[in-house]
């Protein structure tokens, strides 16, 4: 593998590429593809191609990119997707936050997906102090937006479950 980032070891670039594959998968609207249980990344790619005509042009581009990555690094396709937040609608509104884990070779990776257009604008507003204090939540002494709080809660659940 040729280094794409000067001064960065090829193995570190590979780790970044693997993370990019997981994040790219998240943008295939896995909730709409009804990804549940423990599906491999290869299973997700197959399901997405089976539903190719229902994907947006951006999703189709993401799918093609993901397939190229996994074709060049077949080991990434073995990663298993679990802990899908969109399958726990009592705690997580899929239009608010989407998160899941990808596990491969004993490594657990937590991935978050952006939400509907404009929904995370509260992050910037919270950092700049432009949000009404009543809108923000205090979490362990840190002021966070409601979506940031859900992201923290998801991570805490993953850690507590030891998944």
Task: Tell me the mean pLDDT in the region 95-104.
Answer: 88
Q: Examine residue 129 and state whether it is found in any structural domain, yes or no.
A: yes
Q: Examine residue 4 and state whether it is found in any structural domain, yes or no.
A: no
What pTM does this model have?
A: 0.81
Q: Examine residue 53 and state whether it is found in any structural domain, yes or no.
A: yes
> Helix, strand or coil for residue 23?
helix
Q: Examine residue 78 and state whether it is found in any structural domain, yes or no.
A: yes
As for how many domains the chain has, the answer is 1
List Cβ neighbours of 46 (8 Å cut-off, separation of 6 or more).
none
Which of these ranges, 30-34, 84-88, 145-149, 154-158, has the smallest mean pLDDT?
Answer: 145-149
Per-residue pLDDT of 21-77, as tens digits, reads 999 999 898 888 989 888 999 999 999 999 999 999 999 999 999 999 999 999 999
d(CA 109, CA 100): 8
d(CA 138, CA 102): 30
- Domain extent, residue 76, equals 10-161
Q: Residue 109 pLDDT more than 60?
A: yes
Q: Residue 2 pLDDT more than 70?
A: no
d(CA 152, CA 155): 5
8 Å CB contact between 5 and 54: no
d(CA 161, CA 163): 5
Q: What is the pLDDT at residue 92?
A: 79
Q: Examine residue 5 and state whether it is found in any structural domain, yes or no.
A: no
> How much of the chain exceeds pLDDT 90, in percent?
47
Q: Examine residue 3 and state whether it is found in any structural domain, yes or no.
A: no
Cα–Cα nearest to 83, from 6, 1, 4, 160: 160
């Amino acid at each position: 593998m040729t280094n794409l980032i000067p001064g960065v070891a090829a193995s570190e670039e590979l780790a970044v590429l693997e993370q990019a594959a997981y994040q790219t998968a998240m943008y295939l609207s896995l909730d709409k593809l009804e990804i549940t249980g423990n599906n491999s990344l290869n299973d997700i790619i197959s399901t997405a191609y089976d539903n190719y005509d229902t994907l947006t042009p951006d999703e189709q581009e993401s799918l093609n990119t993901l397939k190229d990555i996994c074709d060049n690094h077949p080991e990434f396709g073995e990663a298993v997707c679990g802990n899908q937040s969109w399958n726990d609608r009592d705690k997580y509104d899929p239009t608010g936050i989407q998160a899941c884990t990808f596990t491969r070779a004993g490594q657990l990776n937590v991935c978050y997906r952006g939400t509907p257009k404009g929904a995370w604008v509260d992050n910037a507003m919270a950092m700049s102090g432009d949000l009404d204090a009543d809108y923000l939540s205090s979490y362990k002494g840190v002021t966070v937006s409601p979506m940031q709080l859900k992201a923290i809660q998801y991570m805490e659940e993953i850690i507590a479950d030891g998944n």
